[in-house]
């Protein structure tokens, strides 16, 4: 298991788009679980995003999976998504940025 410092260092090297930030927050702060890292239904993401449209969610999730920030399983109709350890660190960074930019 990686240390928090290793995860933080890796997270800092990953460039995220505004859409990816939006989806990370939507995964972490969804209506079904408010615990970052919990597995949620993919349809719940579109209900929580602020800027990403429903039809764009799957592409953004795919990008997060490729970057190692999220995992996904299931088929097209019943898919679940969750943040990896690196994704949780990225979520915490996003929330800190949002707090200080207000």
Number of Cβ atoms within 10 Å of the Cβ of 1 = 5
Interval 61-82: pLDDT, tens: 999 999 999 999 998 778 899 9
The values of phi and psi at residue 25, to 5°, are -65, -40
Q: Which residues pair with 71 in a beta bridge?
A: 82
Mean pLDDT in the chain? 85
More confident residue, 53 or 6: 53
For the chain, the domain total comes to 1
For the whole model, what pTM was predicted? 0.83
CATH classification of the domain holding 96: 1.10.10.10
Distances (CA, A) of 101 to 12, 43, 80, 93: 18, 29, 32, 12
Give the structural domain span for 60.
4-100
If you average pLDDT over residues 10-16, what whole number do you get? Answer: 71
Contact 18, 3 (CB under 8 A): no
Q: With cut-offs at 50, 70 and 90, classify the pLDDT of residue 9.
A: low
């Amino acid at each position: 298991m990686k240390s928090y410092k290793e995860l933080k260092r890796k997270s800092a090297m990953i460039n995220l788009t505004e859409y990816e930030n939006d989806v990370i927050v939507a995964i972490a702060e969804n209506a079904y679980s408010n615990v970052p890292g919990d597995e949620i239904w993919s349809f719940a993401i579109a209900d929580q995003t602020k800027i990403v449209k429903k039809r764009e969610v799957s592409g953004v999730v795919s990008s997060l999976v490729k970057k190692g920030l999220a995992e996904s399983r299931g088929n097209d109709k019943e898919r679940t998504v969750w943040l990896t350890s690196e994704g949780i660190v990225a979520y915490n960074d996003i929330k800190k940025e949002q707090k200080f930019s207000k």
